[in-house]
């Protein structure tokens, strides 16, 4: 008796990608509505001067819990969509390319930070309030809040986001687009999902680097590893410098970061399994 085909195995890749994005958007919207309701309840029950909604939502325990739930949902979405289509997420071990990917994840951080700093100096649309609040939450959290935030930022974000964006979404789009186009499109969608304009644009170097890990090796494992190192280094800088510290990334440091990242991406391609001519 032959095994039953996956329910969405025959679905067009473009339509399947749309369903993935719809599921992702729906899950994020459900959580946002829940967060808004929670903030409303807190404000309604608060006597005297009303607390700022940002202070409520960026409370370390609240933020850590909400982000953990969101990212666990990403993992569930990725696994569920993968099974519905009957195409497993590529988790092959990339060998020596993994070490180079780890280095690339560390190298790209200063370039992204430099870009964020200069965008923030423009003000207006590029307000740094969102990132500043996140940094403050991490730096000032108690044991429970800090544990939840570290779990979300350093473990679940690399895992959940890569499984969704460089896993099932990449797999669906590559049925419709050439690999290099999939790299660019998924990188743009990954950056855009962060919503905050400053965060979206400053994430561009990191997004392109993570997508290249997937393209060059055919596996999401190097992207997960590089993402982990990148986020862990960002959190480490917050602990070392404090959330109120001025940025210390200079132009030469940013240029060196960009050059090193590009060189390491080339190294991953040379060690990977995917030819550049695809």
Q: Which two tokens stand for residue 235?
A: 């959190």
Minimum mean pLDDT range among 96-100, 127-131, 234-238: 127-131
**Which residue's entry shows tokens 């108690």?**
142
CB atoms within 10 A of CB 203: 21
With a CB cutoff of 8 Å and minimum separation 6, the contacts of 44 are none
For the stretch 197-211, pLDDT in tens is 888 898 999 999 999
d(CA 201, CA 195): 10
**CB-CB contact of 142 with 56 (8 Å):** no
Distance CA 183, CA 265 (A): 13
Mean pLDDT value across residues 82-107: 91
Do residues 118 and 249 make contact, with C-beta atoms less than 8 angstroms apart?
no
> In this prediction, what percent of the chain has a pLDDT beyond 70?
93
Residue 169 to residue 160: CA distance in whole angstroms: 12
Read off the pLDDT of each residue in 231-260 and give the average, rounded to a whole number: 82
The DSSP letter of residue 11 is S
Structural domain boundaries of the chain?
A: 13-271
Place of tokens 């990339």: 94
Length of the chain: 278
DSSP state of 142: -
Cα–Cα–Cα angle for 15, 21, 26, nearest 5°? 125
Please tell me the predicted confidence (pLDDT) of residue 124.
Answer: 77
Q: Given a cut of 90, is residue 183 above it in pLDDT?
A: yes
- Average pLDDT for residues 232-246, to the nearest whole number? 77
| Chain Cα centroid distance, residue 184 | 15
Instruction: Enter the pTM of the model.
Output: 0.92
């Amino acid at each position: 008796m032959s095994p039953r085909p996956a329910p969405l195995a025959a679905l067009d890749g473009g339509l399947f990608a749309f369903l993935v994005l719809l599921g992702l958007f729906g899950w994020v919207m459900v959580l946002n509505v829940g967060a808004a309701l929670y903030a409303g309840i807190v404000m309604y029950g608060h006597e005297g001067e009303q607390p700022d909604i940002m202070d409520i939502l960026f409370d370390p325990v609240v933020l850590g819990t909400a982000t953990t739930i969101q990212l666990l949902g990403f993992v569930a979405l990725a696994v569920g969509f993968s099974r519905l289509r009957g195409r497993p997420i590529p988790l092959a071990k990339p060998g020596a390319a993994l070490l180079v990917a780890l280095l690339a994840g560390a190298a790209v951080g200063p370039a992204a930070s430099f870009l964020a700093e200069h965008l923030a100096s423009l003000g207006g649309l590029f307000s740094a309030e969102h990132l500043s609040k996140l940094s403050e939450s991490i730096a000032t959290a108690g044991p429970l809040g800090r544990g939840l935030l570290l779990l979300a930022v350093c473990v679940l974000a690399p895992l959940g986001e890569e499984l969704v964006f460089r896993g099932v979404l990449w797999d669906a789009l590559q049925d419709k687009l050439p690999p290099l186009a999939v790299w660019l499109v998924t990188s743009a969608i990954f950056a855009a999902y962060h919503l905050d304009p400053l965060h979206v644009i400053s994430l561009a170097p990191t997004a392109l680097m993570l997508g290249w890990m997937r393209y060059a090796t055919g596996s999401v494992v190097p992207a997960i590893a590089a993402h982990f190192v990148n986020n862990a280094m960002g959190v480490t800088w917050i602990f070392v410098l404090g959330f109120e510290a001025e940025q210390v990334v200079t132009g030469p440091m940013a240029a060196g970061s960009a050059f090193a990242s590009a060189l390491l991406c080339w190294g991953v391609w040379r060690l990977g399994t995917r030819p550049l001519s695809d």
